[in-house]
Amino acid sequence: MSQVVTRFAPSPTGYLHIGGARTALFSWAYARKMGGKMLLRIEDTDRERSTEAAVEAIKDGLSWLGLHWDGDAISQFGRASRHAEIAHELIARGHAYKCYCSPAELDQMREEARAAGKPPRYNGYWRDRDQSEAPAGVAPVIRIKSPLSGDIVVHDHVQGEVVFKAENLDDFIILRSDGTPTYMHAVVVDDHDMGVTHIIRGDDHLTNAARQIVVYNAMGWDIPEMAHIPLIHGPDGAKLSKRHGALGVEAYRQMGYLPEALRNYLARLGWSHDDDEIFSSEQMIEWFSLDGLNKGAARFDFVKLESINGHYIREAKPDYLYGVMIALAEEVGRLADLEGLTADKATVLAALPELQPRAKTILELIDLAQFIYASRPLPIDSAASALLTPDARSVLGDVRDLLIGLNDWSVEAIDAAMRTLAEAKGLKLGKLAQPLRAALTGRTVSPGIFEVMVLIGRDESLARLGDQIDTK
């Protein structure tokens, strides 16, 4: 019974957003570190907003990031009768009661409290009132009896001891008038029943923790260890918006980020292990501890994410990257690229070591590979065509004559021949190389142009060169 059990409990009202992904990452890392389990519970009690598609999106997102949960995902909605059972048990124990107040009466109470400079709260009208006074035809809610005085303290691994005065908490609803549980109640019952020992969640739940402790105490249940991690903010320090990165993890995949890079980046947002920046999942598990969690909110920074992504692209094996490129081209509908990458697989694989250091995302990697399968005559972008002046084209003519006579089509041989030619004509090598690059790739940026020539081969190289010399 000493096994650690954590849980990730998203509500399926949308995709797995970036903040949720990080919460899951920490819950997962802690469970793995402690040799315990991470459970997945879908908080779908809000029937209006919950969708099956969102459940799948969340599971897909977790799987893509490599955050595997133990056992089957649990539906909170499916446990409604258990929640109701506990609510009624609480009444029987004298810790809860039925309340018949109307929304209008509730509004009035809140207004009065606010006017008195107090937190807006329920005033306990039905707390000790006899049920015989109940109005006819009104379905009651069940409220828990929150302590009237004293402190409720949350012992938090991140925030420390957080004290809430009992008078600031009201008798909140645990069971709605339609018999369904509220979040505050369902969470406690589920965490208890699931044997959760450590609750790791966003600190937007910190005040909720105090309310939930009321339920734990009323039932006489042990309170799990808690760690409320700070939220992720946008670059301006305010709430994370879509423009700032509050997207589903699949959006990151579609932008060309590698799961290991996103995972690594997210881990460093609010958690640290000395000065380590780059680490594998295994290392994170080995190093992870609740003590390493930060208290302040972190801002999301796409630039740093890109940098880390670039690192993982550089380190990756070509065949792995090739697979990711194919899958991504298909996912985002880049059919021409999908076709070219598939048709010229061997060349792409051979070119990848040249491409990798130049790409920050998989999308960029695909762009960089386009010169391989581009069909003639190549589209020339504006910067490249600016390079193809009449003078440059005439130089390219000399280059072509030289290359036609070249027997050894290797980087070394081409390099030597080109340098000799440049010297003979009194030109810097760049004067030959840049127009050549424009002609062979249609761009001003590419891997080493001699490498490009070897990659696409002699015939294709000469043909592309010819396209630029002979037209005009």
Backbone angles phi, psi at 6, to 5 degrees: -110, 170
Angle CA 27–59–212, to nearest 5: 45
352 near 318, Cβ under 8 Å?
Answer: yes
Could you tell me the smallest distance in angstroms from the CB atom of residue 69 to RNA?
17
If binding is defined by CB under 7 A, does position 385 make contact with RNA? no
User: Which of residues 31 and 152 has its CB atom nearest to RNA in the complex?
Assistant: 152
If binding is defined by CB under 7 A, does position 205 make contact with RNA? yes
Contact with RNA (CB under 7 A): which of 68, 88, 93, 118? 118
If binding is defined by CB under 7 A, does position 372 make contact with RNA? no
| Part in contact with RNA (CB under 7 A); list of ranges 32-40, 217-225, 372-380, 437-445 | 437-445
Number of H helices, E strands in the chain: 20, 12
3-state DSSP call for residue 210? helix
4 near 30, Cβ under 8 Å?
Answer: yes
Hey, CA dihedral for 336, 339, 343, 348, is it positive or negative?
Answer: positive
3-state DSSP call for residue 372? helix
User: Which of residues 241 and 342 has its CB atom nearest to RNA in the complex?
Assistant: 241
User: Which of residues 82 and 311 has its CB atom nearest to RNA in the complex?
Assistant: 311
**For residues 82-101, which are near RNA according to CB under 7 A?**
101
Number of residues that bind RNA (CB under 7 A): 85
Q: How far apart are CA 128 and CA 126, in angstroms?
A: 6
Contact with RNA (CB under 7 A): which of 4, 55, 73, 106? 106
If binding is defined by CB under 7 A, does position 68 make contact with RNA? no
Whole-angstrom distance between the N-terminal and C-terminal Cα of the chain?
82
Q: How far apart are CA 68 and CA 29, in angstroms?
A: 10
The residue annotated as part of the active site, out of 118, 239, 242, 428, is 242
**For residues 207-226, which are near RNA according to CB under 7 A?**
207-208
Residue 145 annotated among the catalytic residues of the structure: no
Question: Which residue(s) pair with 454 in the sheet?
Answer: none
Pairing of the two strands 141-144 and 173-175: antiparallel
Contact with RNA (CB under 7 A): which of 68, 88, 239, 242? 239
For residue 410 the two structure tokens come to 């290797």
Could you tell me the smallest distance in angstroms from the CB atom of residue 339 to RNA?
25
If binding is defined by CB under 7 A, does position 307 make contact with RNA? yes
Could you tell me the smallest distance in angstroms from the CB atom of residue 156 to RNA?
8
Contact with RNA (CB under 7 A): which of 55, 80, 91, 231? 231
Could you tell me the smallest distance in angstroms from the CB atom of residue 171 to RNA?
10
Contact with RNA (CB under 7 A): which of 165, 286, 353, 377? 165
Contact with RNA (CB under 7 A): which of 68, 304, 336, 401? 304
3-state DSSP call for residue 31? helix
For residue 433, which of 378, 396, 389, 381 has the smallest C-alpha distance?
396
Contact with RNA (CB under 7 A): which of 288, 322, 373, 450? 450
**Any idea which residues carry the catalytic annotation?**
242
